[in-house]
Amino acid sequence: MTWLWILPLSAIPVLLVARYSHTVTQQQWAFVLSGVGMGEIQRLRDLSSVERGLARASYLDARGPVDPAEVRRLLDVAYAYVSGLTDRRLARLAHMAQIARMAAAIAEVKPLLPRDYELGQIRTAAALSLVAHHVLVSSGERFRLHVSTLSLGFKLARRALRKAQAGPKIDAGLDDWATLDEAHIEAFRLVLMTLEAEAAKGEE
Amino acid sequence: MSPLQLAIADAVKVALVLTMLGLACRRRLRLCWSIDAYLVVILACNWLITTYPAIYRTRSFYIQKTAVYDILQLCVAVEVAWYVFRAFPGARATARAVLLAIIAAVAVMIVRVPTVISYEYAVHSYRPQTLSATIWILSATATVATYYKLPLHAWHRAVLLGFATYLLVFVTLLNILRDYGWDLRARVSLIDAWCYLALITWWAVAAWRRAEPIVVPAAVVERLRMETV
Over residues B127-151, the pLDDT tens digits come to 777 887 888 888 888 888 888 888 8
- B66 within 8 A of B127, measured Cβ to Cβ: yes
- Whether residue B156 is predicted with pLDDT greater than 70 in this model: the reply is yes
- Which one of B224, B226, B228 would you mutate to disrupt binding with A, by most A Cβ within 10 Å of its Cβ? B224
* Contact check, Cβ <8 Å, A199/B223: yes
Give SS3 for B2.
coil
Question: In this complex, is the C-beta atom of A199 within 8 Å of any C-beta atom belonging to chain B?
Answer: yes
Q: Is B145's CB within 8 Å of A34's CB? A: no
Instruction: State whether ipTM is beyond 0.85.
Output: no
* CA atoms of B194 and B191, how far apart (whole Å): 5
pLDDT bucket at B184, cuts 50 / 70 / 90: confident
A35 touches chain B (CB under 8 A): no
CB-CB: which of B147, B148, B216 is closest to A26?
B216
- Mean pLDDT throughout A40-57? 82
Query: What's the whole-model pTM score?
Result: 0.64
Q: Please give the average per-residue pLDDT across B116-128, as a whole number.
A: 74
Residue B122 pLDDT greater than 90, yes or no: no
**Residue of higher predicted confidence among B85 and A43:** B85
The per-residue pLDDT of chain B, averaged, comes to: 87
In chain B, what residues touch A33 (CB-CB under 8 Å)? 219-220, 223-224
Q: Identify which of A17, A30, A138 has the shortest CB distance to residue B220.
A: A30
Closest CA to A178 of A81, A114, A82, A75: A82
| A202: contact with B, CB 8 A cutoff | yes
CA distances from B229 to A104, B17, B146, B216 (A): 28, 20, 22, 15
Contact A140/B94, CB-based, under 8 Å?
yes
How many helices (DSSP H) and strands (DSSP E) are in chain B? 10, 0
Amino acid occupying residue A180: L
Q: Collapse the DSSP code of A21 into the 3-class scheme (helix H, G, I; strand E, B; otherwise coil) and give the result.
A: coil
In this prediction, residues A191-195 reach a mean pLDDT of: 62
Alpha-carbon span B24 to B30, nearest angstrom: 9
Min Cα distance B204 → chain A (Å) is 17
CB B168 within 8 A of CB B89: no
Please check the confidence at residue B91 and state whether its pLDDT lies above 70. Answer: yes
One-letter amino acid at A103 equals A
Spatial contact of B108 and B73, defined as CB atoms under 8 Å apart? no
Which of B139, B153, B157, B168 has the most A C-beta neighbours within 10 Å, making it the best mutation to test the interface with A?
B139
Which residues in chain A have their CB less than 8 angstroms from residue B157's CB? 17, 20
Closest CA to B89 of A138, A136, A16, A134: A138
